[in-house]
């Protein structure tokens, strides 16, 4: 997990700047209040660990939910009590984090639910908001997704441009032989697929196939390597791809296109 305090401090500095002009003008110092976070639609909640940093100086913070909980519309998430000025000044940053990360978790859960009963696991990708990758991957995991590689450093994924730069499938695989990292290679044609298999590839990425093509290629692989599918896979068709028999399906949409969910913050004077 990244330095969450630094993430929160950057977000607060960006929003508050030299001071919350509206709150300082309208709310007397010393005014005490309670604020309640509530789901306004069915969600899978994520990002709750950030509330503890945002409100660490508040006299009371009660987090009712846990990351990964499936909440109905109207369910309470957390209640914070303290300075009304603090609660108001941090409202938008808190909601931005919760709505964004819970949106990722909610979409992740929808993908997981869509393939339930098949052998396929859903993976996330590196298509994340710069600086928030680990938070977004934690949110995806809260929704039931399996995290793929975190960055360029913890696995080898040979994609089409690597193959071009290396001079072909066999050359690329030869150059990573002996690595202690997991090695996966993307193949685009049946010829590349056969080259990869004959070169000992054990993890294959098949990109931009139709479900029918994926089923045919997976039958040809016949268990000689694990198979990941990606490319043009949506909630509407992910089940069809899963029924083709891959070990994994990866979706960048889980992080790069997750809509923010509707979470409300209601303030009441103590």
Long-range CB contacts (within 8 A, 24+) of 23-29: 23/84, 23/85, 23/88, 23/89, 24/85, 27/84, 27/85, 27/88, 29/85
- Catalytic choice (70, 159, 175, 224): 159
Instruction: Report long-range pairs for 19-27 (Cβ below 8 Å, ≥24 apart).
Output: 20/85, 20/88, 20/89, 23/84, 23/85, 23/88, 23/89, 24/85, 27/84, 27/85, 27/88
Name the active-site residue from 127, 175, 188, 224. 127
Backbone phi, then psi, for 10, in 5-degree steps? Answer: -65, -40
Q: How far apart are CA 126 and CA 148, in angstroms?
A: 8
243 is catalytic: no
From the candidates 186, 192, 228, 239, give the one annotated as an active-site residue.
186
Catalytic residue among 52, 207, 243, 262: 207
Q: Is 127 a catalytic residue?
A: yes
Quick check: is 92 catalytic?
Answer: yes
Given 70, 76, 92, 188, the catalytic residue: 92
76 is catalytic: no
Q: What amino acid positions are annotated as catalytic residues?
A: 92, 127, 159, 186, 207
């Amino acid at each position: 997990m990244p330095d969450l305090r630094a993430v929160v401090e950057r977000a607060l500095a960006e929003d508050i700047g030299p001071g919350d002009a509206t709150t300082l003008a309208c709310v007397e110092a010393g005014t005490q209040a309670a604020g309640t976070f509530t789901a306004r639609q069915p969600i899978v909640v994520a990002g709750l660990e950030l509330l503890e940093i945002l409100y660490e100086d508040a006299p009371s913070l009660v987090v009712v939910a846990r990351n990964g909980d499936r909440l109905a519309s109207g369910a309470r998430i957390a209640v914070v009590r303290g300075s009304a000025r603090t609660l108001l000044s941090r409202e938008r940053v808190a909601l931005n984090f919760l709505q964004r990360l819970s949106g990722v978790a909610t979409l992740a859960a929808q993908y997981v639910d869509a393939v339930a009963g098949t052998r396929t696991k859903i993976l996330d990708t590196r298509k994340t908001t710069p600086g928030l990758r680990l938070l977004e991957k934690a949110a995806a995991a809260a929704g039931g997704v399996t995290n793929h590689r975190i960055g360029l450093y913890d696995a080898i994924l040979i994609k089409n441009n690597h193959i071009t730069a290396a001079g072909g499938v066999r050359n690329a695989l030869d150059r990573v032989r002996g690595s202690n990292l997991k090695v996966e290679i993307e193949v685009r044609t049946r010829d590349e697929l056969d080259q990869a298999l004959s070169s000992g590839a054990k993890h294959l990425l098949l990109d931009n196939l139709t479900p029918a093509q994926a089923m045919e290629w997976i039958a040809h692989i016949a268990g000689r390597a694990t198979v990941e599918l990606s490319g043009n896979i949506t909630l509407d068709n992910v089940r069809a791809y899963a029924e083709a028999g891959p070990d994994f399906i990866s979706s960048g949409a889980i992080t790069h296109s997750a809509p923010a969910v509707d979470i409300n913050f209601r303030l009441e004077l103590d």
